Amino acid sequence: MKPLLERLAKGDILLCDGGMGTMLQQRGLVPGTCPELWCVEQPDDVMAIHAEYRDAGSDMVECNSFGGTRYKLEHYGIADRCHEINVAAAKIARRIAGDSQYVLGTMGPTGAMLEPYGDETEADVLGAFTEQAEGLVSGGADVVIIETMTALEEALLALRAVRVVDVKMPCIVSMTFDPVATGGYATMMGVRPKAFAEACLEARADVIATNCGTGIDDMAAIVEEMGAVTKGQVPLMAMPNAGMPVMENGRTVFQETPEQMANKVGILLDAGARIIGGCCGTSPAHIAALRAAIG
């Protein structure tokens, strides 16, 4: 299997997998409990989900490590198991991926607020991300994806942490943008797509991405904004939700069907995305439909 960045440089279009949380819930994960702990306590269930996405045609396996920093794990009283959990997450993904898929070590937000807005120092947050990255790299990740970020400072600290652990590790940095009432898109912390892309270019991220927040229609516009900055210097990645969320009987539901998503995939490709996957509300059926559409 050729290195990820080599394939992207050749112009290949790659397909990532879809949502993990809802898949875990279907297998019995109770809301409010730790999804990442399943990598240690119920690894067969996690492997089964990875296998469903593999069989749907994804080129990548995202580890079940999104909330794997000690900050997040502390909520469950298991911060001391950070390294163990992240190693397990990567090893599980590697077992399913074999030599046919790329293993993406997933790093999400810490939930902590950096000074001066909060109490956490850059050194503390950098240390937490470094600890997580060490586990993912030790477990066999091919790539690290920093995703669902809303604060630019935190996203760049995570990127620095990955480089501390392995300077050659390919790194994807992804932020979540929402429509703004006055026009355009911004993260919850006010970061605009162009400013994000500029910062990622300066920090030498290998792939610049956006995930969650919107469906394909809005996400294509976000990708175009990032592409206006990157101008082909780095590949772009998009992982939309299955449409915009709606409330049904007190539950958040994503209504876009696999066929509806697949019919729109050309919009993302035309916008400049070279890796496409799914976020909230997407399933192996969505990924299979995207696979058929991409070819």
Global confidence as pTM: 0.96
CATH of the domain at 234: 3.20.20.330
Identify the band that residue 1 occupies on the pLDDT scale cut at 50, 70 and 90.
confident
- What single DSSP character describes residue 272? T
> What confidence score (pLDDT) does residue 199 get?
98
Q: How many helices (H) and strands (E) does the chain have?
A: 12, 12
Q: Are 195 and 208 in contact (CB under 8 A)?
A: no
**pLDDT score recorded for residue 119:** 87
- Please provide the distance, in angstroms rounded to a whole number, between the alpha carbons at the two ends of the chain: 18
Least confident of 57-71, 85-99, 159-173, 244-258: 244-258
pLDDT at 114: 87
Mean pLDDT of the region 272-293: 97
Q: Tell me, what's the pLDDT at 125?
A: 98
Q: d(Cα 186, Cα 196) in Å, to the nearest integer?
A: 10
208 sits in which H/E element: strand 207-211
Residue 275, classed as helix, strand or coil, is strand
The rounded distance, in Å, linking the Cα atoms of 106 and 90 is 9
Mean pLDDT of 146-174: 98
CA distance 175 to 35: 21
Which residue range forms the structural domain that includes residue 41? 4-294
pLDDT one-digit tens code per residue, 225-267: 999 999 999 999 999 999 877 777 777 778 899 999 999 999 9
- Element containing residue 82 per DSSP (H, E): helix 82-97
* Dist. CA 65–CA 68, nearest whole Å: 5
How much is the average pLDDT of 163-178? Answer: 98
> Are the CB atoms for 66 and 114 separated by under 8 Å?
no
Q: What is the mean pLDDT of the chain?
A: 96
Residue 18 sits at φ, ψ, to 5 deg, of: -120, -155
**Distant-in-sequence, close-in-space partners of 111: CB < 8 Å, separation ≥ 6:** 71, 72
Provide the 3-class DSSP secondary structure of residue 153. helix
For position 253, what pLDDT does the model report? 77
pLDDT category at 3 given cuts 50, 70, 90 is: very high
Residue 62 has pLDDT above 90, yes or no: yes
Q: What is the pLDDT of residues 91-135, one digit of tens each?
A: 999 999 999 999 999 999 999 998 888 889 999 999 999 999 999
Q: Tell me the CA distances in angstroms from 141 to 86, 156, 172, 245, one per residue in order.
A: 10, 20, 13, 31
From 59, 137, 25, 35, select the one nearest 91 (Cα to Cα).
137
Give just the sign of the alpha carbon dihedral 226, 183, 251, 113. Answer: positive
Count structural domains, the chain.
1
Per DSSP, 34 falls in state -
Give 72 or 295, the one with higher predicted confidence: 72
Q: What is the pLDDT of residues 175-208, one digit of tens each?
A: 999 999 999 999 999 999 999 999 999 999 999 9
Reply yes or no on whether the pLDDT at 72 is more than 80. yes
Query: Exposed, middle or buried, 12 (CB in 10 Å: 0-12/13-18/19+)?
Result: middle
Collapsing DSSP states into helix, strand and coil, what is residue 183? Answer: coil
How many whole angstroms separate alpha carbon 110 and alpha carbon 73?
A: 9
Whether pLDDT at 46 is above 80: yes
